[in-house]
A and B are shown apart, each in its own frame.
Chain A
């Protein structure tokens, strides 16, 4: 059983650019969430996708968007990058429906994004 795989592991972008981060969910998981973890802080919820539809969103602007594909892999897209977007981006998957899961998430190792 494979876990959650994220790519790339590290990335450096210039302010104003766009970035796409990728996540391959754990086998059998149909729900994926994305989190932003700034240095020295806990993860902040960005959004969740269930069966290719966004069904939950945190306090992030619309320039943060995502996709989930039929194989349940997903992407996080960030447009017009700002310096404060520098963080570790975590993808987490689980098996479940639209509501809360009883099982918790399986997290990937994250993508470290640096905006200069």
Chain B
């Protein structure tokens, strides 16, 4: 079984400040890791993913995340946020060799609010 814990349910930050959204996961096997963003009344949009290789992953909209296997973490960062980054962010994991094909396990989300 796998699980995802997003350590902060809400993160308020001022515009142009840096931000980190924290994600820890638990799994007995190797995993793929994802971050999604959800704007109000919309579906989820893939920000970035870690599959293998370099532990620092760059995504869209200036976001990046670092995979830390020893700490089982995949924290999302952005050096300077904009008002338009205000949204719900979800961390998700999928087992790399999964008999239950297609299943991604999501955290409960972090609400990022960027204030002017």
A 86-99 to B, binary, CB cutoff 8 A, 1 in contact else 0: 00001010000011
A44 interface contact, C-beta 8 A: yes
Judged by a CB distance under 8 angstroms, whether A57 is at the interface is yes
- CA of A109 to CA of B39, assembled, Å: 10
A-side contacts of B101, CB under 8 Å: 48, 50, 55-56, 98-100
Contact B42 A109 (CB under 8 A): yes
Binary contact readout B1-35 vs A (1 if CB under 8 angstroms, 0 otherwise): 00010000000000000000000000000001010
* Across-interface contacts of A107 in B (CB, < 8 A): 36, 43-45
B46 at interface (Cβ–Cβ under 8 A)?
Answer: yes
Verify A45–B43 contact, CB threshold 8 A: no
Q: Interface residue tally of chain B, by bracket?
A: 20 to 34
Give the residues in chain B near A55, CB-CB below 8 Å.
Answer: 101-102
With beta carbons under 8 angstroms apart, the residue of A4, A42, A48, A102 that contacts B102 is A48
CB distance from A88 to the nearest CB of B (A): 9
Check A99/B97 contact, CB under 8 A, given A48-B103, A58-B103.
yes
Partner of A41, one of B42, B94, B109: B109
Q: List the A side residues contacting B94 at CB < 8 Å.
A: 100
B67 on interface, CB distance cutoff 8 Å:
no
Is A100 a contact partner of B96 (Cβ separation < 8 A)?
yes
* A–B complex contacts, Cβ < 8 Å, 18 sampled: A4-B43, A33-B103, A40-B108, A40-B109, A41-B109, A43-B44, A43-B106, A44-B106, A45-B104, A58-B103, A100-B101, A104-B49, A105-B46, A106-B46, A107-B44, A109-B41, A109-B42, A109-B43
B: residues with CB less than 8 A from A are 4, 32, 34, 36, 41-46, 49, 51, 90, 92, 94-98, 100-109
Q: Which residues of A contact B (CB under 8 A)?
A: 4, 31, 33, 35, 40-45, 47-48, 50, 55-58, 90, 92, 98-100, 102, 104-110
Q: Which 6 A-B pairs have the closest CB atoms?
A: A48-B102, A42-B106, A107-B43, A56-B101, A107-B44, A104-B46
